[in-house]
Amino acid sequence: MSQTLAELRETLRRIEGDGYQRRPSLPFGVSAIDGKLANGGLRLDALHEVAGARPCLGDDASATLFIAGIAARAWGPVLWVVKRRDLFAPGLYQAGLAPHRVLYAEARDDAELLAIMEEGLRHRGLGAVIGEVKRAGLAATRRLQLAAEGGRTIALLLKGHARDGADPLGQPSAALTRWRVKSAPSAPLSFEGVGRARWRLELVRQKGGEPFEMLVEAPDETGRIAVPARLAAGPAPGRGADAEDVARATG
C-alpha cells in the first residue's frame, strides 16, 4: 500500500510541477565536488567509508567532523555506534548535528558494532547510521551495503588505523565511495587567531567515477563544507602552497 501511495504522490507532484523530486542522493551543495561524483552526491541507500589520513587524533577528529556534517544534512535521526565514548556532542552541534537527533550506542568489538549498524539500517526510520571500526572485511561491508539498499538511510563507516600501519582504505570493500581527510592549515586571517578549519579531502575511490583531491573548508553550523574562496586581499605572504591549492580547487 505504501508503495502505491508513494507512486501516487510522485505523480501528483509531477502534475503540480513544483519541481521537487525525491533525490536518491545527498549532494554536498558544492558544485566542484558534486560534479565529480557519479551520482551528483552521496547515494543515500549506500555505504560510504571515511578515514583520517594519518593515525593521529587530529585527522581522526577531521574525519569525524566530515561525517557529522554529512549526517547533519541527512533527513532524520542518526544512530552513532561507538566503541569509545570520546565524542563531544557540543562539537557535533557546531557542525549542525543537534543533540536530540543523535542516538548513541556502544559496542564492545567490531563484529558487534557492524551488527548494530545493520540493525539500524534495516529499521528504515533513520537518516544516517555511523560506525567507528578498526577493520571491516569485504563480507562485512557487503552486508552493510545490502542492508542499506532499498532504504533512505545513509551508512557511514569511519575506519580507524590498525596497529600494523596499513592503509585503512586499502582493503577491498563494498563501499560506494571512500574518502580520506587530512587536516590542513586553517584559512589565513589578517589578524591573530585561528581561521575556519581546512582539510585536504581526497576521494580515494568511487564506483563509476574518478578519484580526486582538493582543499575544502570544514563544515559550518549547517554541516556544509565549502571550497575556499579566493581572498580579496590575496593569501597571506609566505603561503604559496595555499594559493596553489586554492587555484587548483576553484579552477
Partner 1 sequence: MREMGRRSEAAPHPFRAQFLEKGRSDEAGAVPPVRTSGEGQREGPYPGEGAFFLTGRMSGGIVGRACAEDARAPSDARRAVRRPAEPPLVTAHRVDGRDLVHAANEAAWALGIAPGMWLTQARVMAAGLHILPADPEGDRAALHDLAVALARRWAPTVAVSDDTGLFVDLTGVAHLHGGEEAFAERLLRLLARLGYAARLAVADTAGAAWALARRGPAPVVIAPPARHVDAIEPLPVAALRLEEAHVRLLDRLGVGTVAELIRLPRKPLMRRFGGALVRRLDQATGRAPEPLEPVVPPLAVSAVQRFAEPIATPEPIGRWMDILCARLARSLAEAGLGARAVLLVAERIDRRDQRLRIGLARPSRDPAHLSRLFRRRIEEVEPGFGIEAMTLHVLRADPLAPEAIGGALDEALGDGTPDLAPLIDALANRLHGRAPWRVEPVESDVPERSAARVPALAPPDRRPPALGADDVRRLAAAEDDHPWHPRWPRPVRLLPRPEPVEHVLAELPDHPPKRFTWRGRSYRVVRADGPERIGGEWWRRPAERDAVRDYFSVEDEEGRRFWLFRRGDGVRAETGDLSWHLHGTFG
Residue 56, all three cell numbers: 593521529
Go through the chain and tell me how many residues it has: 251
**CB of residue 37 vs partner 1: minimum separation in angstroms?**
21
Q: List residues binding partner 1 (CB under 8 A).
A: 1-2, 5-6, 9, 56-66, 68, 76-77, 79, 85-95, 99-100, 102-107, 112, 115-116, 119-120, 123-126, 182-186, 189, 192-195, 197-199, 218, 221
Letter for the amino acid at 153?
T
CB closer to partner 1, 64 vs 145: 64
Distance CA 149, CA 228 (A): 34
User: What torsion, rounded to 10 degrees, do the Cα atoms 210, 213, 217, 220 define?
Assistant: 30
CB closer to partner 1, 158 vs 173: 158
CB atoms inside a 10 Å sphere around CB 225: 21
CB closer to partner 1, 21 vs 35: 21
**CB of residue 189 vs partner 1: minimum separation in angstroms?**
8
Instruction: With CA atoms as reference, report the closest residue to 134 among 247, 55, 44, 229.
Output: 55
CB closer to partner 1, 106 vs 210: 106
**CB of residue 89 vs partner 1: minimum separation in angstroms?**
4
